[in-house]
Amino acid sequence: MPEPRIHGREFVRTFFTTPTAEQGVDDSAKKLRKAIQLRGMQAPDVWVPDNEDATAPNMRDEGAENIAEVVADDGAGFPGEIHPRVVWHRDDPSTRYKGLQHMLEIADPEKGAVDDIDGFVIPEVGDIDDWKKADEFITIVENEYGLEEGSLKMSVIIESGQAELAMGELRDEMGKPTNNLERLFLLVDGEVDYTKDMRAITPTGGLPEWKELRHNTSRGASAAGLISVDGPFDDIRDVEGYKDRITANAAMGMLGIWSLTPGQVEVANKTPLPPQEGYWTVEADGRTVELDDEGDAQVYNGERIDLEKEGETYELEVGGDELVLDEDELREELVDLTAYVPSMDDIVDSMEEFESAKEAGKGAIAMSRSATVRIDGVEIDIQSDRMWDEATYQAMMTPVKLFKDVYSNRPDQHDALAEMYGEGVVERALDVGL
C-alpha cells in the first residue's frame, strides 16, 4: 500500500512535453531519458511524457512502456511532478479505451513507476460527463492497483467549445458522491485543436488570440481551486514573444504555460517572478518603452516623445500631438505616462511598510515612488502615489506567494534564485506575510 500522495503545488509555471517513443533510433525512449535528467531552471514544474500528439500513433504502446521504464529508473530524482499525457477523445470510444489501457500500463506497480507518477493529462475532453468518464477510468486504475482513490491527479486539455463550457460547471460537479473530480489539477488550453474545433480561419493560418478562452480557463481554475496553464507557443526562436505572452497571461491570472524546449522552460520558470531590478517605463504613443537608468535620472532615448523648455514653458510632443505646459502640468502629464515596475526587493519593502502601518492601526497608506525623468536633456522630478489598503496588499501578495511556492517545492532552484535576487532578498521574501 503506497503512501498517500501529497500534492503540494499551489502554482505551476511550466508544463513541458516530451515524445515518449521515436521510431528508427537505437533507443526509442532517448528523449524521455534526457528530459528526466533536467534540473534547476531548465526543469519544469510539471513534466509531461506525451503519449498523444507528440508521439506517432503506432509508437504509443511502446511509448507507454517507455514512460513506465524511464520513470521507474529515474523518477525519484526528478524535481518536478510527472503527469503523462495519454490518448483520449470525446467523440471516440476506442481512443478512450486505449487511454485506459495506457494508464493501466504506466501505473502498474510491477513496473515500479507509479510512486513517481503524480497524475495523468487527458486531452480532447468534451462536456463535463466526458470528464467524468476519464475520472472513472483513473478510479479504476487506482482501485486495480490498491492506490487511494483520488491520489492520482487529473489534468485536462481544453481544446473544444464543450470543454470551455464545462469549466463553468466544476463547482457543481466536484464533490458529488459518484465521481472523484476532486482529483482535478490543471486546466490547460490547447489552442491549435481549439481553433479546429471552433472552425476558425485566419488569413495567415496563425493562431487567433483566444483571449476569452484564456479568461474563462483562468476563471474556471479560480472558481474550482485549480491551476490554469496556457497552450504551446510555436515560434521557439521568438523569446520576446514568449515572454510577452507569459506577461499577458499573468494579467489574466493564468500563471502557467506550456514549454516545448528546456530553453522555453527556463524562460517560463523565470518570467512570472518579479524582476531583480525595478525600472521605469513610459507610454510612448501606444508603445510601452523602458527608460534607461543613467544613475542621476531615468532617461527616454527614443524618438516618439520630444520635450523642449522655453523659459517657464514646456513643449511636450507625443506622437505628433503637442502640449504646451507649465512645470506642474508637465509633471502631472509625466506621472500619467510613466510607471514603475517594482523589483522583488521593492515589493517586499512595500509589504513590510504596509504591515507596519497595519500594526500601528492604519487601514490605508500612500506608497510613494519618485524619480528624475530626462527627455531631450530636459529634467523633471516626478512622484507617484498609490493608496494601499488590505485588498491591495492581498493582491500584491500573489507574486510573493508564487515565489514562496517555488522555493518550498523546488529546492533544485534555490541556487538560481539566490543568484537572481541575492540571499538577503530571498530571505526577506520568505519572511514577509507570515
User: Which sequence positions are flagged as catalytic?
Assistant: 389
Coil, strand, or helix at residue 72? helix
Within residues 124-143, the interface with a second copy by CB under 8 A covers 127
Residue 328, all three cell numbers: 506642474
Within residues 49-108, the interface with a second copy by CB under 8 A covers 53-56
Binding marks (x or -) toward a second copy, 158..177, rule CB under 8 A?
A: --xxx-xx--x--x------
Residue number, 145 or 343, with CB nearest to a second copy: 343
Binding marks (x or -) toward a second copy, 373..412, rule CB under 8 A?
A: -------------xx-xxxx-xxxxxx-xx----------
CB of 36 to a second copy, least distance (A): 21
Residue number, 77 or 225, with CB nearest to a second copy: 225
Residue number, 75 or 399, with CB nearest to a second copy: 399
Within residues 195-224, the interface with a second copy by CB under 8 A covers 195-206, 208-209, 211-212, 215-216, 218-223
Q: Locate cell 527627455: which residue? A: 375
Q: Locate cell 503540494: which residue? A: 8
Alpha-carbon gap, residue 202 to 196, rounded angstroms? 11
Q: Is residue 302 part of the contact set for a second copy (CB under 8 A)?
A: yes
Residue 198, all three cell numbers: 471552433
Coil, strand, or helix at residue 18? strand
CB of 193 to a second copy, least distance (A): 5
Coil, strand, or helix at residue 285? coil
Within residues 270-289, the interface with a second copy by CB under 8 A covers 272, 275, 281, 285-287
List CB contacts of 403: < 8 A, sequence separation 6 or more.
273, 274, 344, 417, 429
CB 217 within 8 A of CB 231: no
Residue number, 142 or 404, with CB nearest to a second copy: 404
CB 145 within 8 A of CB 95: no
CB of 151 to a second copy, least distance (A): 25
Residue number, 116 or 308, with CB nearest to a second copy: 308
CA torsion through residues 154, 155, 158, 159, sign? negative
